[in-house]
Structures are given as C-alpha cells and as structure tokens.
Structure 1
Amino acid sequence: MDTIMKIVSLKEQLIQQNNKINDAQARSSKSFRISSPLIQEVKLFQTKSQQNQKRKESYSTQSNSPTAKYDNFIQFVNTSQISQADREIDDIPRQSLLSSQAFRNSEQLSPRTIEAAKKYFQNGIQFAEDKDSVQEDSYSDSSSSEDQNREGQNDNGDLLLDEELSEWKTLKIEDVFSLFEAKCADNKLKVLPQQLFKFVDKLKNQIKKGSLSLQELQLGVQSSKKIIQLLKNNSKSKCLFSKLLLAKNNLGDQGIQQLCNFLSKQHRSSIVHLDISNNNLTSVGIKQVVNMVSQNQNIISLDISSYDGYNRNRLSRSACIYLSQYIAQTEILQFLKMQNCCIGPQGLFSLSKGFTANRSIISLDISKNDIGKDCSQCFESILSHSKIMELNLRGNFLGDQSISKIGELLKPGLKMCVLNILDISNNKLTSDGINNFFESIQKNQYLERLILDQNNLRGGLPEIIQFLQENTNITYLSMVDCCIYPEVVESIATGLSRNSSLKSLNLSKNFIKDSGAEMIAQSMKYDPNLITNRSLKVLDLSKCAIEDYRGQVLSDAFKYHQGIIEVSLCHNLLGDASGFSLIDLARNNQKIIKLDLDMNLIRLDYMQEIQRLISMNVDNHKSMREPYLKEKLIELKSIEQKPEDFLKKEEEFQKKNNQHSQVITKYQELYEQEEQVCKQEYNKLLDELVDIKKINQSIIISKDNEIQHKQILADYENQISELRIENEKLQNDLEVQNAQFQSKYQVYSKRKSQLEEQKKKLNEKKLQMILQVEDASQLNKDLENKIKQVQDRIKLLQQKTKSKPNNKSTVNIQQAK
C-alpha cells in the first residue's frame, strides 16, 4: 500500500510539473513569437511542406481532362448537403450539362446551372499564392484541405500564418457572372454555360494575390462597367487590389473613359500599377488616362504599350505633348511603358521636353517606335536631366551616331547618368559604333545589364577587352544573333578572362564554331599562373555550331569552375563523347542546376543520366537550408525546455513595469502642477503682449528708417569704392599713355633733327638754283636784245626793199630772219 501511495503521489507531482511546463512554454512561445521571427520561419517551412505533400497526394490521383473535372463536380454534388432539385443533375449524362441544345440556343443561363455553378465555386475564386503553386482543379478537396490547414494553424497558434491567410481574398460569383454576360454582349455572342465554366477557370488561373488580372478576355465597353463594380466591391473589403491588368482587350476610348472617371474620384484607391496595353486607344483615350493619373496620386506604374499587332494603342503628336506636360509636373510616376505606340521622332522630341524637369521616373520603355537616327539631342535631354535607371530602346534603328552620343552621356563627368539597364538591340548598329560605345563606358559605375542583340558585329570588337577589364559593375551581357565569328570571339574571351564581375553571358545564335568554343573554354579554365574568370554563373552557347570534341573541352573547363550554375548548349552538334564528359561534369560539379542539351546528337541513356544527376543537384540545392533550420530548431527547443528563466525574466519585467508606473504617476502630478503655473503665466503674458505690440510698432518704424539709412550708406560706400576703382584704372591708363607719349616724343625729336638737316641741304640747293636762275635771266635778256636788234635790222631791210626791190635784198631778208 505504501508503494502504491508513493506511485500515486509521484504521478500527481509529474502531472503538476507537466502542467507548469506547458503553461511556461505557452507563455514563452507567445512572447518569443513576437520578439524573434525564427520560430515563425520554421513553422512556416513546416506547414508549407505539409501542405505541399497533401497537395501532391491529392493531385496524384487526378487528371486535367474534362471528364475528370465533371466526375469531381458530380462527387461534390453528391457529398455536399444540397436540395433534391440540385441532385437531379446526377441524372443528366456527363456531357449534357455542357453540350445540350437547350443551353446552346439559350441567351441566358438557367437558374439550375447558376445554382450548380455557385455550389461548384462554393468559396469563390481563390487567389494563387505565387507562380509555382499547384493549380487546384477540384474545389471540394481544396476547401477541405484549407479547413484542415486552418485548424492546424489554430492549434499551433502561429500569428504570422493567420495574417498570411487573412490576405487570401475571394471574388463574388455574381460579379463574375455579370462580367461574363457583359463580355458576351460586347462580342455579340450567346451566353452558354460551357463558355461560363471556361471563362471562370481562365479567370481563376490569371488572378493572383494582390492583382486583378483580366487579360485577353475580349472585354469591351459594356464590360468596363462591371470592372468598376468589381473595384467598388473590393474597396469595401480588407484585402485590396494593388494591380489592375487589362491588357489585350478592346475597351477603346469610350470604355477607358468610364474607367478613368471612376479611378479619378478614388483618391484613396489601392491601385498602384495600371496596364491598359493593346486596348485600341487613340490620342483621346490617352489624354483621359493622363488626366486620371494626374488626379489619382497612387499610381506609380503605367503601361500603354502595344505588344501585338491587334488592338494597338496609337499616340499622336498632340497626345505626346499632353503626356510630356504631365511628365514634367509629376513626382509620383516611376515606371512608364510606351512600346510600339507610333511615337516617331517628333513625338520623342516633345516627350524629351517633359523629361528635362522630371525626377521621379526610373524606368522607361520606348522600344519599337521608329525613332530613327536624328534624335541624339532628345537622348541628351532625357538622360542628362532625369534619373532613369532602366531604358529600353529596342528596335528603333538608331544607328552608330546616336549610340555614340548615348555612350558620351554615360561617361563619368559633371552630368552623371545613373542607368543600370540598357537595351539597344535591333538598332542597325555596326562594330564601329559598338566599339565607340565600349570605349565611352569603360569607367561607368552604374551600368549592370547591357543587351546588344540582333546587331551586326562582324567587323570586330577590340574595345571589349579594355571594357571588361576596367568595368567592375557589369553583371549581364547579351549578344544574341550578332554575326559573331571566331575572330570576334577571341577578343570576347580575352576580356572575359580579365573580368571579375560578369555573371551572365549570352552568345546564342552566332557562328562561334569549334575555335570560338575552345577560346571560351580556355578563358574559363582554372590556372594559378593566369587571371581567369570565377564569377560567371550563366552561359548560353545555344545554336553556335559547336561540334563533339569542343563540347568535351567545354565540359572539362566547367568541371572545376566554382561559380557556374546554368549552361545551355542546345541546338549544337554534340555527340556521345561530349555526353560522357557532361555526365562527369554533372557528377563532379554539384553546383550546376541547369544543363540544357536539347536537339543534339547525344544518346538517350546519356541524356537520362545527365537529367538524373542534375535533378539530384537541384534537390541538394533546395535542401541546403534544412540543416540550418534544424540547428535553429534544436536551439529553440533547448530554450523552451528552460521555463524557469522565462519566469524570472517575467518577474523582473513586472517589477520594472511597477517602478515605471510609479515614476509615471509622479511625473503626471508634476505635469499638472506645472500646467496650472504655466496657465497663470500665460494670462499675464497675454496682458503684456498688448503693450509690447505697440512698442514693437514704434520700434519697427525706427528700424525701417535705420535700415533705409544703412542702405543709403551702403550704396554710398559702394559708389565710393567703385569710383576709387575707376580712379585707379584711370591712373594706370595715364601712366601707360605717358609712357607711350614719351616713346613717341623721342621718335618725333629724332625725326625733327633729320628734317632740319634735310631742310639745310634744300636751302643750299635753293640758293644754287636761284643763282642759276639769275644767270639764265641775264642770258635771256641778252638774247632778247639781240632779237630786237635783228628785228630792227629786218625792218630796215624791208623798208629798203620796198624802195628798191632787188633779189639780193630779199635774200638778205630771209637770211636775217
């Protein structure tokens, strides 16, 4: 009896201790869950792994065929608690619900199909958690699994999981029906139940958590009203949409006007991203969108592109001017996509004026807009003034001149350009323009991703060596379909061997061949005497005409490369020898998680072995985090097994709280006393303020006079200083002029002495001339006297001849003459 009583007492003691430990663990788990996120991560990992296992087990027995879906529907109808009228669906054959003539010819859904659909979609359309989540085809199994998960979470008491599940929101099935009917009315189609089920399935697959995705549903003007109704109902719920995706529909200007009128009034809406690409919009609709975005202060991302040929959005020059005005004023918009919108060079010129005053846009897509070659000034105003980090210029046929101008803007200088991603593919570039571009961006500190696809680089790339050697920020380089031959690959390989930052290189669809592949392999091989690239993780050499032997060389180079993760060698000429070496590669280098070898000449068993090894590498890669979590679990369990420490900490915390509460009460009493004293002083100060204001007015007047007097004195002193400066200038000018005058006076005096000497000589000559003239005048006088004598003589002879005419006298007269 004594032993039995001892055993009973020991059991009671053990039970009491267990209860105390459980209480302490519960308290510690609650406090620790709030303080440390490690337990939450561990429990999330456990619950998600359990959910994935349950989903795999449930989906392993199911198929995606329409007959299996119908069987699941019948099973749900039979197992659920519904009326006998709804159970009559069991009597209908399998395909009668979807292919009966009565439903095909009807323009409205019958109430029986609506009720069946409501039962089928009992919890509405659930949002997918992410892209990798499994699509649930049978809704009965999904609802039961969710209830089980929720019960398990309530048992565990995980606060973070409850918050995560509260964000899973649903749509009302009535709104989905009305949207389907509006879609049928827009396209002038009959309302058929089989199309309803397809519509709802497609909608379920598209809609994800946080985004209302209505892409490619052929929605028109009447559907825009139903979209507004969906948004109104969502605004009343706790979980709001942040993205509205309406791409590849036919809303047109009228439908977008209705939607913009609603969104412009919603100043507190939760929509951040708006996608209205491929909706047959003109400049009228674009202006309405710009008006709405300017009024709604929440949208930071706008997509008005045209990705396909149908329902294209077209921007005229007036729309570009209107958009540029908004770009110059906005401080909220950060992402803008305008791909294939017929902008042209004139539209880009008008948009560039808006970017000169913009500081908010960080991502811009203006690809495929026929910009042309003569737009270098537009890029200067866009890049030198804005803060764009991502720029897409694909398919604009810019030419070498524009690319060299962009390269000059990317040089580090006064006007810093912060581009991180640049796409200049398919722009009719040659090797000359690309070499100039590489030379300009050698020391750029911001560019990380560069895409040069579909350009002609046949002439060679000598500048890429210096670029890859000096630029330590580039991480992604793509040169797909660029007419690259082995001569060009040599410079790429040498630059790659000297680079330490490049993580992804894409050289697919080029003529690399065997020699180029061997050069790349040599740049990747480990050599302690040489500098080799160790940072490359992704390499794409698909469609490069690489043969079997060079495949072995590449696999040997990748075997001991510590950084390589993904390799693509599809669409080449690799054979069995390459396959055997690639098996060795996948076995030795366990970091490789992707090895694409499709469309090669490798044996099937080799391919299967490579896939098996790669899948093992993937599993190992995924399970790398499990040991870390297990260690953390052990640490947390060891902490939970010591509740006494937590009790002591709680007691200390309570003591501190009591002390703080006492101090707070004391401060409150002091605060009340000081508040009363302050009120009394405040009243006194109010009385004094009236007198002080009068005094201040007089002081202000006197101060204004003093300020004016000081201003006058300051102006006078400024004038005096200016006059002094002018006087100094004049003195300097006078000194210069005096020096010039003295130099000129010396020259003048020398010239004067010379002239005086010349004057003396001329006077002497003049005297001589005067004497000669006097002598000549005397001679003239003598001659005149002689002439008179002769004339007198002639006269005498003439008189004589008149009295006595003779022949001799006439002869004498003639002689005298």
Structure 2
Amino acid sequence: MQRTQSNVSILNAWFNLEKALIDAQVPENEQVTIISRPPTSKMMRDYSNYHSQQRTQPLRPLTGLTRPSTAITMKKPIEYQEKTATIQQSQRKMFRKKVNQRPFKKYGFDNIHIQKEEQEGEISEEELNQSTVIHTLDVDQIIDLYHSKCRDRELEYQPEHAVLFIEKFKKLCVDEQFVCEDNQLGLESAKTVRDILLYNNHFSTLRLARNAIGDEGLVELLEMLKVNKNIVHLDFSSNNITADGAFYLFNELIPLHSIISIELSSKDGLNRNKVSVKGCEPIETILKYNHPLQFLGLRGTSIQNAGFECILSGLQTNNTLAYLNVSNNDLNEEACNYMVQYISNCNLVELDLSYNPLGNNGMDYLSRIFDKGSFMLRKLNLAGCEIKSLGILKFFQSLAVNRFLERLILDENHFSGNGFNEIENVLTSRIPLTYLSMAKCSINATGADFIGNGVERNRTLKTLILRDNRLTDAGAECVFKGLFFEKLDLKRCNLTDKCVLGLCSMIKQSTQLTTLLLPDNGFHDSSGIVICEAIRVNSSILNLDICENPLSYKYIDQINKVIESNRLKYELDRVPMYKREIVKLNNIIQQKPTLEKDQNENQQKKARSLQTLEKTIEEKNRVKIEQIQKTTDMDARLQQIQQQSRQMDIDKIKFDNESNMHLIKMDDEINDYQKKMSECHQVITRLEKEIRGLKDQRHVRKGQSDSRLEMLRQLNRAEERALQRAEMEKKQLEERIKAMSGKESITSRRKTKQLSQIIQQKQ
C-alpha cells in the first residue's frame, strides 16, 4: 500500500512538472533533459487503482455508474489551498464587519442583530484591500442591493443572510456577467441595480431571471441602459412583465443599438411574462430596420399567431436575427402558413417551435419552405408539436433537398405509423445532419430498422438520442449498425442481454464513440462482463452510463475502472498531441517567409489574371454592344419596311377599289353602247323594210330613195365608228388592268425578298 501511494505521488509530481514546463513554453528538447524518468506501466496502474478506490469509497452499493466529466482534474497543491482558504476567511470577516455596520429599522424598531455582532479580530490593510472590491463593485453596493431586496419583500435585515448574499453574488458574477437570478428582486432592487450599473463598464451581461421587477422596475433599468452602452445581453425571464412593459421595452430598444440579445421567456413557475400581441408590434419595427438584435427568446409569453405574424413580417427584410425561440405560445398550423408567406428566404440560424400544437397540417406548410432548398436554418426544434407519421412523412421528404440543417429535435411526438420510413432517405441524403433527437416518439422495432438502414450509410450524424422508445433488442441491433456516432442515448428502450453482442461489436468497431448512455434497461451480469471487455478494446469510450440496470456492483466498479483508465490515457495522449501540434505550428512559422513569398506571387498572378479577365470582359461587352446596336438598327429598318409594306397594302386596297369602280363604269358604258347598237339595228331593220317598200315604189319616188340611201350609208358609217371606239376603249382598259396587276406582283415579290434578307441577317 505504501509503495502504491509512493507511485501515485511520483506520477502526480511528474504530471505537475510536465504541465509547468508546457505553461512555461520550455522547448521539447530541453524537456527531455529535465524529465529524466517518464512514468512506467506499474506506476500508471497504481495511479488508476488508487483514484478508483478514492472515488468508490463514498459510493453506496448498487447505485450504478456515475456520470463523470470527460476531463481529469488534478488536485491543487496544499500551499495554494491553504492560501485560498486564508483569503476567503479574511474576506468573510470583512463581509461580516461591513454588513453589521448597517443599521436597519422596520416599523420603528432597531435591528436586533446589531446587538448580537460578533467581536472580530483586527483586519490588516492587505486583507481589507482584498475584500472591499468584488468584480469592480464595492461590497457596500452589494449590501445596498440586499437592503433593497429586503425592502421589496418586507423582510428584516439579517447580517448573516447578507454575508451569504455577497458570497453568492461573488460566485455567480464572473466573466463580465451581472447575475442575480431567483432572488425575488422588486422595484427597489431594480433601482439599486440601475444605480450600480449606471457608470460601470465592467459588465456586458445582465441576468435578472426569475425575479419580480415588473413593468416599473423594467422602466428603471431601461434608463440605465440608455447611458451604459457596454451591456449587450439582457435576461428578464419570469419577471411579471406585462404586454405594456414589453411594448415599452422594445420601443425603447429601437435607438439602442448596443443590445444584441434579449431573453423574455417565461420559465415554469411564478412571475410569468406575457408579451402577447401588443408587445410584438414594436418587434416588427425593430426587425424591419435591421436592428443589431441577434438573439430573441419569447418562450411561453402568449404571443399566439397574431404576434408571431408581426415577428415574421419584420423578418422579411431582416439580416441580423439569428436565434428565435417562440416555443409554448399556442401556435398552430396558421402560424406555419404565415412562415410560408413571409420567410421562404430567411437568415435565421436557430428556430425553436417546440410545444406548439402545429400538427400534421403545420408540417405540410413547413415542408413547402424546405422544399425550395434555400431555407438556411441550421437548428430546428419541433419537440412536443403533436406531429404524427403523415406529417413527418411530408417533412422528411422536403428535407431530402436541404443542404443546411445540422441539428433536428423531434422529441415527444408520435411516429408509430408507416410514414416514418422516410427517415431512411433523410439519413442517406446529402443533408449535413450532425444531431438528431427523437426521444419519447413511440418508435418501435420497425422504425428502428429504418433508422439503422440510414445510419449504416451515414457519415455525418454524430449524436443520436432515442431514449424512452420501444426499440426492443431487434430495433437496437439495427441502430448498432452505425459506426460513426460520438454520442448514443438509448435510455429506457426495453433492451436486454440479447442485444449485447451487437452493442459490443459496435463499441469495438467504432473509433469515434465517446459517450454511451444505457440506463434503465434490462442488462444483467453477463452483459456487464462483455461490455467491460469491449470498452477495454476501445479506449475512446470516456462516458458510459449503465445505472438502473439489474447489474451487480462488482461489474459496475470494473466498468468504472476501465473508464477512468481510458480517460487517463486520453489525458496522457493529449500532451504529445499538443506537442506535435506545436511542432507543426513552429514549422509553419519557420516557413512563413516562403509562404509570404508564394502568397505575393499568387497575388501578382491573381492581379494579372484579373486584368486579363477585365480586358476579356470589356472586349466581350464591346462586341455585345455592337451586336445590340446592329440588332437595334435592323429592328428599326425592319419596322420601317413593315411600315412601308403596310402603306403599300393600303395603296393596293385603294387601287383595287378604284379599278373596280372604273370597271363598273366601263361596264355601264358598254351596256349603253350595246343598247344604242340594238336601237341602231332596230332602225336599220325598220329602214330595210322601208327600203323594200320603197323599191316597189322606186319608180314613183326614185329621187327620195337616193337621199334615204345616202342617209342609211351615213348611219352605217356612224355605227362602225362607234363600235371601233368601244373596242379600242375596252382594249386600253384591259391593258391598264394587266399593267397594274404586273406592278403589284413585282412590288410584292420585292417586299418578300427584303423581308427574307432581314430575317437572314438577324439569324
């Protein structure tokens, strides 16, 4: 036993020395000369067994394996612990002395605790300087805050409680955070916080969740924020803020561009915030004008569909908001319809819609957004949204084309139907999903089979949460096909010893698995033996939770020891890994001049390429402009020709009308001539009859007959001249018609030729 403790102390000293050398940035070649004796395997084994015994001593039998952290914390030196204890004791003395100097009266009676003040020893000036300031705040200011708390709650001032309040404040207010949560602070406390932070630029975060500051206290704090521009995060969750207070808050935030994060959620319990629709109206204005607000939490604030519509309307033109939490706000499928209308393209990174009754219809609307593939959401929480197999089928089908979603939470839904088979296509698609949680989703062995087929070919999924499902052994063996998990949670999944062989096979083959959670199942001692051997083979397992199983404590202790050994090995491997990284970085630093030279050459090449590209673009633009000009000219010429063609068509119509009129007129004249000729024929016939009658009487009237014959000859000659003139006019009219028809055909042919030439030039 003494030899074991000696080895442990040597190993502790070796670790501390190596850590000190790394912190001091001692070169690796000098470290070898300083550290003359590295730890042996016997020392490592003694170290592991010693710490296992130290840890298992306070444990009770059959309590299961604890949930340890992934890192091993070394014990600090005794001198450091003693010095820290001395400082804390001195500070506590100072706290007691200061709080006892504060008299307080309630209803006219003196504070009785002043009479019970303990006699403290003399405090040195060094101790006094160490105790008067906590995170840039005087102790008196913190006591003032406790005074205000007592006045808000109508309590008597108690120095002992004031000391505890100061120590709690000192413990919580780290990393530039002013944290005073769950203290029942009211209006007076809000005024005190306003006075404390009015000109204090140390804090960047103000956390006052689970208090009772109300609307009036919120107004006081906003007056401080108008002066103090260093605070960027506000947490007023569960502070009994009404819609009027929220309306005032967001209205005052419009000109305050220093605030980037606001949390107004209502936690479970008292003093719930109620933003409602009225409080969401100024949020629309904030988002529309791209206020630097990046995080907005409105969980359980009764905004309902109308308030959510105001927020979505502001998100249409917003480029800054990255996180939005509207869970537990009675949103239904109408809210999802608003999402389709307003934010098909949005810059949100994380959206929390959990515990809203969206249902299958809501999933139908959401699938329309993801169908486009341009929705850049990276984390989506749909836990407790009353989704069933039909709704998740449509949603999974839309995710097949998404290239952005990385984390998806679907807890507390119901996926026992046939539509869940689409999960296989989602896991085998190109979606970069790294985190998938489906706890309490009524998934059975059939659903686990689809999950197993998907994870078998998936390389991106690192965390899978399937706790509280009825997977059984058959379903679990399907899930064990995935070999690229980093964390797998199968708590309360009805697993027994039958699936332990598949589990151990996955543990041995998986090189990335670090966390495995198997509590509250049916594993017995035989499973414990096999699991212990498997994690000995795979030293990457750093967390294994197998508590609440019918497993003997002996095997739990063995698993504990193996896990501690794996962690120790991991910690030991980290130092050489960091050393190798340092060597690589040093090599990169040494190669910096060469890299800079190459970078300059690449920049010059890039500049030359850009110049060449610009010239090419200019030449192409010039050619394009010339082509556009030619096309414009051709279009103008074509329009001119088309206009001339339309004019020629109009002239043709006019000429045709005139020709028809002339033809009608000539037909009328010919008809008149024909009538006259018929009358002449009738006269001639009558004259011939008279001539025959006169021949008989020639001897009587010979002289008269000669004159009539002469008149007849004249009539015949007049008739012949009239016929000749009619024939000539008819021929002239026919020639004129032929000439006009020929001219028309020539014009139409010319026009057709010009149109064909223009079309060819355009082509």
Q: TM-score range by the shorter chain?
A: 0.5 to 0.7
The answer on 1:541 being equivalent to 2:490 is: yes
SS of residue in 1 equivalent to 2:333: coil
Change over 3 Å in CA distance of 1:592–1:737 after alignment to 2: farther
Residue in 2 that maps onto 1:57: 78
The answer on 1:621 being equivalent to 2:570 is: yes
CA contact (8 A) 1:250 1:280 kept: yes
SS of residue in 1 equivalent to 2:478: helix
Alpha-carbon separation, structure 2, partners of 1:473 and 1:637: 34
Return the offset for 1:330: 2.9
The answer on 1:455 being equivalent to 2:413 is: yes
Change over 3 Å in CA distance of 1:323–1:718 after alignment to 2: farther
Return the offset for 1:624: 2.2
Unaligned runs of 5+ in 1: 1-35, 47-51, 64-68, 90-103, 128-168, 525-533, 639-644, 646-716, 742-817
User: Which amino acid is 1:371 matched to?
Assistant: L
The answer on 1:248 being equivalent to 2:216 is: no
SS of residue in 2 equivalent to 1:410: helix
The answer on 1:217 being equivalent to 2:222 is: no
Alpha-carbon separation, structure 1, partners of 2:128 and 2:568: 36
Which whole-Å deviations, capped at 9, do the CAs of 1:739-763 have from their partners, x for residues lacking one? xx9xxxxxxxxxxxxxxxxxxxxxx
User: Which amino acid is 2:289 matched to?
Assistant: Q
Which whole-Å deviations, capped at 9, do the CAs of 1:68-89 have from their partners, x for residues lacking one? x999849986xx9x9xx98xx9
The answer on 1:551 being equivalent to 2:493 is: no
CA contact (8 A) 1:294 1:330 kept: no
Return the offset for 1:469: 0.8
Residue in 2 that maps onto 1:505: 464
Residue in 2 that maps onto 1:443: 401
Return the offset for 1:198: 2.0
Alpha-carbon separation, structure 1, partners of 2:380 and 2:637: 57
User: Which amino acid is 1:183 matched to?
Assistant: K
What's the Cα RMSD here? 4.3
User: Alignment partner for residue 528 of structure 2, among 576, 579, 589?
Assistant: 579
CA contact (8 A) 2:328 2:355 kept: yes
User: Which amino acid is 1:468 matched to?
Assistant: L
- Which aligned pairs between 1:736-815 and structure 2 lie closer than 5 A? none
User: Alignment partner for residue 279 of structure 1, among 239, 260, 263?
Assistant: 239
User: Which amino acid is 2:566 matched to?
Assistant: N
Residue in 2 that maps onto 1:396: 356
Residue in 2 that maps onto 1:487: 446
Change over 3 Å in CA distance of 1:590–1:191 after alignment to 2: same
CA contact (8 A) 1:513 1:544 kept: yes
Change over 3 Å in CA distance of 1:628–1:733 after alignment to 2: farther
The answer on 1:376 being equivalent to 2:336 is: yes
Residue in 1 that maps onto 2:643: 727
CA contact (8 A) 1:264 1:293 kept: no
Alpha-carbon separation, structure 1, partners of 2:338 and 2:641: 47
CA contact (8 A) 1:118 1:173 kept: no
Change over 3 Å in CA distance of 1:634–1:466 after alignment to 2: closer
Change over 3 Å in CA distance of 1:635–1:312 after alignment to 2: closer
User: Which amino acid is 2:467 matched to?
Assistant: S
Return the offset for 1:718: 14
- Which aligned pairs between 1:514-533 and structure 2 lie closer than 5 A? 514-521=473-480, 523-524=481-482
User: Which amino acid is 2:208 matched to?
Assistant: L
Return the offset for 1:629: 5.0
Identify which of structures 1 and 2 has the higher relative contact order when contacts are C-alpha pairs closer than 8 Å and 6+ apart. 2
Change over 3 Å in CA distance of 1:561–1:255 after alignment to 2: same
Return the offset for 1:261: 1.4
SS of residue in 2 equivalent to 1:551: helix
Change over 3 Å in CA distance of 1:559–1:725 after alignment to 2: farther
SS of residue in 2 equivalent to 1:619: helix
Return the offset for 1:293: 2.1
Return the offset for 1:383: 2.9
CA contact (8 A) 1:126 1:204 kept: no
Unaligned runs of 5+ in 2: 1-21, 35-72, 101-108, 591-632, 657-763
Return the offset for 1:314: 0.5
Change over 3 Å in CA distance of 1:283–1:56 after alignment to 2: farther
Alpha-carbon separation, structure 2, partners of 1:117 and 1:599: 54
Change over 3 Å in CA distance of 1:432–1:54 after alignment to 2: closer
CA contact (8 A) 2:247 2:278 kept: no
Change over 3 Å in CA distance of 1:637–1:253 after alignment to 2: closer
SS of residue in 2 equivalent to 1:375: helix
User: Which amino acid is 1:493 matched to?
Assistant: G
Change over 3 Å in CA distance of 1:536–1:731 after alignment to 2: farther
Return the offset for 1:329: 1.4
Residue in 1 that maps onto 2:193: 227
Alpha-carbon separation, structure 2, partners of 1:437 and 1:562: 32
Which whole-Å deviations, capped at 9, do the CAs of 1:503-554 have from their partners, x for residues lacking one? 0100000001111112223x14xxxxxxxxx421110000111012213431
Alpha-carbon separation, structure 2, partners of 1:725 and 1:520: 77
Change over 3 Å in CA distance of 1:199–1:458 after alignment to 2: same
- Which aligned pairs between 1:343-358 and structure 2 lie closer than 5 A? 343-358=303-318
CA contact (8 A) 2:305 2:335 kept: yes
Which whole-Å deviations, capped at 9, do the CAs of 1:689-711 have from their partners, x for residues lacking one? xxxxxxxxxxxxxxxxxxxxxxx
Change over 3 Å in CA distance of 1:110–1:343 after alignment to 2: farther
Residue in 1 that maps onto 2:512: 563
Q: Output the TM-score relative to the length of structure 1.
A: 0.59
CA contact (8 A) 2:294 2:321 kept: yes
The answer on 1:258 being equivalent to 2:220 is: yes
Return the offset for 1:633: 8.8
Change over 3 Å in CA distance of 1:59–1:403 after alignment to 2: farther
CA contact (8 A) 2:244 2:278 kept: no
What is the aligned residue count?
A: 538
Return the offset for 1:117: 12
Alpha-carbon separation, structure 1, partners of 2:647 and 2:200: 86
Residue in 1 that maps onto 2:50: none
The answer on 1:605 being equivalent to 2:571 is: no
Alpha-carbon separation, structure 1, partners of 2:120 and 2:645: 102
Change over 3 Å in CA distance of 1:121–1:195 after alignment to 2: farther
Alpha-carbon separation, structure 2, partners of 1:737 and 1:55: 112
Residue in 1 that maps onto 2:152: 186
SS of residue in 2 equivalent to 1:244: strand
CA contact (8 A) 1:334 1:361 kept: yes
Change over 3 Å in CA distance of 1:631–1:368 after alignment to 2: closer
The answer on 1:106 being equivalent to 2:84 is: no
Alpha-carbon separation, structure 2, partners of 1:285 and 1:517: 51
Residue in 2 that maps onto 1:161: none
Return the offset for 1:265: 3.2
Alpha-carbon separation, structure 2, partners of 1:729 and 1:468: 67
CA contact (8 A) 1:376 1:405 kept: yes
SS of residue in 2 equivalent to 1:422: strand
Residue in 1 that maps onto 2:251: 291
SS of residue in 1 equivalent to 2:464: strand
State which drifts further: 628-637 or 285-294. 628-637
Change over 3 Å in CA distance of 1:111–1:735 after alignment to 2: farther
User: Which amino acid is 1:549 matched to?
Assistant: K
Which whole-Å deviations, capped at 9, do the CAs of 1:778-812 have from their partners, x for residues lacking one? xxxxxxxxxxxxxxxxxxxxxxxxxxxxxxxxxxx
Alpha-carbon separation, structure 1, partners of 2:648 and 2:384: 67
Return the offset for 1:454: 0.4
Alpha-carbon separation, structure 1, partners of 2:573 and 2:303: 50
- Which aligned pairs between 1:50-199 and structure 2 lie closer than 5 A? 55=76, 57=78, 73=89, 106=111, 123-124=130-131, 169-199=135-165
Residue in 2 that maps onto 1:318: 278
Change over 3 Å in CA distance of 1:297–1:515 after alignment to 2: same
- Which aligned pairs between 1:423-434 and structure 2 lie closer than 5 A? 423-434=381-392
Return the offset for 1:620: 1.9
Change over 3 Å in CA distance of 1:518–1:301 after alignment to 2: same
CA contact (8 A) 1:555 1:578 kept: no
Which whole-Å deviations, capped at 9, do the CAs of 1:686-733 have from their partners, x for residues lacking one? xxxxxxxxxxxxxxxxxxxxxxxxxxxxxxx99988984983795799
Residue in 2 that maps onto 1:153: none
